[in-house]
Structure 1
């Protein structure tokens, strides 16, 4: 006897349908799992709204202070009104003008006291009216020419008397020495000041300035004054 398969009982007949139904169910379950939401139980206190800085501020207690009573009001005495009789003559005071006119007497010039001019004892080289005159600059007529000649003669004097100290050469000392001196009211040189990188260079700069000749002093409003002058001396090894 030969066995035959019943087509109604074939398992592979609706396999595609079963596969689609299963796949749809799995997708539905996955969707429900992803969309499932849970909520934490709610608390009465909202911690996010707390502000520790404001909560920890201590409020000052309200105190009541007893103020002193106000001072009593001052009673002003009313002014005394003096009643003048109509028959009394009142003398009016005439205010005379004190401005000068053609009848005013003029003071003599000899009787006028003049205040002497306040001339400083020391004036800068830049602002002094008559600059000091270096020997050899007497022929310059203008102030600018005398100033330029003074500076040029100073440079020549430094170059002519300049001598590099041997100790400075051995020690390789070099630099700039800032010097300042004052041309006194009699034309002599004084109040020598200097600042440099080493005492040896300062001593050489002082020696150069000590050989400056006597000059014609500077004048302010025709009066001799002291005039300070500054110039740097450069020491440089070749």
Structure 2
């Protein structure tokens, strides 16, 4: 009987502690709004968010990946000398090519997440993604390499 009660107590404790979720690991700047997302040149009613792996034409930074990396290195101002590493960010590329819902998944500390969001907001408009000849919203994730 004692073993059964001990087992029940352990299961109850594990269940109660497993319900806690942490939201502190993600830095969110853009709060969700009730307004519809911006439309591109081909407006459609589909406001679903697609993954880059499942669409026909992926969104692209003007000039490609190398231009995006050089844009980041030119505009990112490191808050501390000698700071190296990767900052992981996700955002939604809207139908008009603008960025929305920017989130920092992992940063280096020292306010590098806020600086990464500032740089991402400076990005020019992307060429939007397409699925079945319709412009769609796409969730995109990038590692920002800081040297």
TM bin, normalised by shorter chain, reads 0.5 to 0.7
In structure 2, distance between residues paired with 1:201 and 1:160: 15
Mark the CA change 1:133 to 1:176 in structure 2 (over 3 Å): closer, same or farther.
Answer: closer
Matched with 2:71 is: 157
Q: Which has the higher strand share?
A: 2
Give the count of matched residue pairs. 101
In structure 1, distance between residues paired with 2:49 and 2:141: 14
Q: CA deviation at 1:173?
A: 5.2
Q: CA deviation at 1:152?
A: 2.4
Matched with 1:186 is: 96
Mark the CA change 1:198 to 1:190 in structure 2 (over 3 Å): closer, same or farther.
Answer: same
Q: Give the SS at the match of 2:113.
A: helix
**Greater RCO (Cα-Cα under 8 Å, separation 6 or more):** 2
In structure 1, distance between residues paired with 2:127 and 2:85: 32
Mark the CA change 1:206 to 1:132 in structure 2 (over 3 Å): closer, same or farther.
Answer: same
Q: Give the SS at the match of 1:126.
A: helix
Larger CA Rg, structure 1 vs 2: 1
RMSD of equivalent CA atoms: 2.2
Runs of 4 or more above 4 Å deviation:
none
For normalisation by structure 1, the TM-score amounts to 0.38
Contact in 2 for aligned 1:201/1:235 (Cα 8 Å): no
Q: Which runs of 5+ in 2 are unaligned?
A: 1-45
